[in-house]
Amino acid sequence: MEITKHLFSNLSILIILLLFCLIWLDRSRKFNLSKTTIIIFFILLLWICIQFSYNPVVFARYDLRIIPIVIGGLYLGIGLILVVAMLIIRSFYGIDMGLAGTAVLYIPLAIAYFRLSPWFWKQSSDRRITIAICLGIILGILTLAGMEGILHTSSNWFDAGFAYLVIPPLGIGLIAYSIEYIKKSVEIKHQLIKVEKLKAVEQMGAAISHEIRNPLTAASGFVQLLNDDYLPRHKRREYLSIVKEELNSAERVIQDYLTFAKPALVSIEELNVKNELRQIINILTPMANQNSVEIITDFSVIGFIRGDRQRFRQCFINILKNAVEAMPNGGQLYLETHFSKDYITICVRDTGVGMTPEQLERLGEPYYSTKGKNGTGLGMMVVYSIVRAMNGFIRVESVIGSGTTFRIKFPTITSFKKHES
Ligand code: ADP
Ligand code: MG
């Protein structure tokens, strides 16, 4: 069984090379290789087949050149190039009867490939594998006939028969199957990417509407207050300026929505925490009143941090809005700040519904919301992303039924440093 043994070793080399090639392709994630690279790879395969062939007599070489020729010809349409390359390579090993036989067998095939390859691609995946295997069997039979019938190179019919009728179709089948499998998974991957992109666009839409809704709700609350005919002039002016500020804020949210994906702080400035929080309370007061929520504050005297004003506001509007929403039947919302040398801690405590440990665990997860249609589950994600971008930390404690406490710590700029700069 010398021929069988040699062809099996040929097959294992081919499969190992193919495996390396696949791993490399997967690593580089580059599936549209240039045609030249592919042709060079297949010529290399042919050379390896011929180099490691079994040649009991000088002019005969038993090897698996059928496999690259069939696969390359059918799948890649490079049959003619491969046949020419193979004849050239083979001629280096002697210009003899074997070479002539190879030419007689493969030149017509190379010409036939021009028709065969386009037709081949119109077939279904399973049929393509079958066609490749059949072509391998036909070539095996013809090679065998040539070798045994004309050249009389082997006396062991069984060995040659087994080697040429089993191994090439087996190798071709394996490789064709892997190609089809990879092709299918690449297609699925592309489809998935498309679906993911669509989903991202949808989510972005949801996020924008969520973040726009906050300032618009506040603005519309003030517009309602403006309806009052007996409103003093100075109040009217104040409300109008808040409405204007809120509308501007909505516009800014659209402009820098991408903060949430990539929390780059745009305009870093020194923020007076107390003043900022007062402004935020102003914005949220109408909503709190509507829900019969009393806002109780206790601010430390000083406290400056570094950050982006717009985002700081967004962060606390989201936290406070959640707190108000957690108290549908009213309650108290405590807002405190504590100042230390290195940190300022902002503490937001509500007497609302609270969260279970599971809910607490999932807090900040994108699109996690327990509010059904009224929630988008983006508010806390934004909060976490902004706090992280400002080098802060968040700690949350919650007891179901009695309330939630958010502690947000930011590094401070001490008043000393402030005056220095
Ligand atoms: P949304 O408010 O749209 O639901 P968020 O990201 O703002 O999304 O909040 C996510 C979830 O976290 C909420 O649905 C709610 O279950 C929970 N949550 C956030 N803040 C509080 C709070 N103060 N009290 C109770 N639950 C809260
Ligand atoms: Mg929310």
CATH of the domain at 113: 1.10.1760
For ligand 1, atom 18, the nearest C-alpha belongs to 322
Q: Tell me the CA–centroid distance for residue 207 and ligand 1, in Å.
A: 15
Query: With DSSP H G I counted as helix, E B as strand and the rest as coil, what are the percentages for the chain, rounded to 5?
Result: 65, 15, 20
DSSP conformation class of 369:
-
Among residues 174, 189, 204, the one where a domain terminates is: 189
CA 229 → CA 6, 218, 226, 240, 286, distances in Å? 101, 20, 8, 14, 18
139 and 212 belong to one structural domain = no
Per-residue pLDDT, 189: 86
Residues 6+ apart with CB under 8 A from 355: 363, 396, 398, 400, 404
What CATH number is associated with residue 391?
A: 3.30.565.10
Q: Tell me, what amino acid is at 421?
A: S
Q: Tell me the CA–centroid distance for residue 273 and ligand 1, in Å.
A: 23
386 and 299 belong to one structural domain = yes
Q: How far apart are CA 89 and CA 40, in angstroms?
A: 13
Q: Tell me the CA–centroid distance for residue 137 and ligand 2, in Å.
A: 67
Nearest to 306 by CA among 270, 346, 273, 338: 270
Decide whether any atom of ligand 1 lies within 6 Å of the 370 Cβ: yes
Burial of 417 (0-12, 13-18, 19+ CB in 10 A): exposed
Provide the domain limits for residue 288: 269-420
333 and 384 belong to one structural domain = yes
Query: Which residues, chain by chain, have CB under 5 Å from ion ligand 2?
Result: 322, 379
178 and 246 belong to one structural domain = no
28 and 144 belong to one structural domain = yes
16 and 104 belong to one structural domain = yes
Q: Tell me the CA–centroid distance for residue 274 and ligand 2, in Å.
A: 23
365 and 305 belong to one structural domain = yes
Decide whether any atom of ligand 1 lies within 6 Å of the 375 Cβ: yes
Strand 343-350 to 268-272 pairing:
unpaired
Decide whether any atom of ligand 1 lies within 6 Å of the 377 Cβ: yes
Task: Please give the tally of structural domains in the chain.
Answer: 3
Extract the tokens encoding 206: 């949801």
pLDDT digits (tens, 9 = 90+) for 357-376: 999 988 988 778 898 766 66
- The dihedral of CA 385, 387, 390, 394: what is its sign? negative
For ligand 1, atom 23, the nearest C-alpha belongs to 323
Decide whether any atom of ligand 1 lies within 6 Å of the 405 Cβ: no
For ligand 1, atom 16, the nearest C-alpha belongs to 370
Q: How far apart are CA 236 and CA 414, in angstroms?
A: 37
- To the nearest 10°, the Cα dihedral for 24, 29, 33, 37? -20
Q: Tell me the CA–centroid distance for residue 380 and ligand 1, in Å.
A: 7
Decide whether any atom of ligand 1 lies within 6 Å of the 376 Cβ: yes
Decide whether any atom of ligand 1 lies within 6 Å of the 317 Cβ: no
Is residue 297 within 8 Å of 263, Cβ to Cβ?
no
**What is the full per-residue pLDDT of the chain (421 aa) written as tens digits?**
788 888 888 888 888 888 887 777 766 655 566 788 889 989 999 999 889 888 877 777 888 899 999 999 998 888 999 999 999 999 998 888 888 888 999 999 999 988 888 899 899 999 999 999 999 999 999 988 887 766 565 567 788 888 888 999 999 999 999 889 988 888 888 888 777 767 766 766 776 676 678 788 889 999 999 998 898 999 999 999 999 988 877 765 555 454 444 445 567 899 999 999 999 999 889 989 999 999 999 998 788 999 888 889 888 988 998 999 999 999 999 999 999 888 999 999 999 999 999 999 889 887 788 987 666 677 888 888 889 888 899 999 999 999 999 999 999 886 445 544 4
Among residues 229, 245, 261, the one where a domain terminates is: 261
Decide whether any atom of ligand 1 lies within 6 Å of the 348 Cβ: no
Among residues 205, 231, 261, the one where a domain terminates is: 261
Nearest to 132 by CA among 186, 165, 168: 168
149 and 102 belong to one structural domain = yes
Mutate to test the pocket of ligand 1, among 287, 322, 329, 394 (most ligand atoms within 8 A of CB): 322
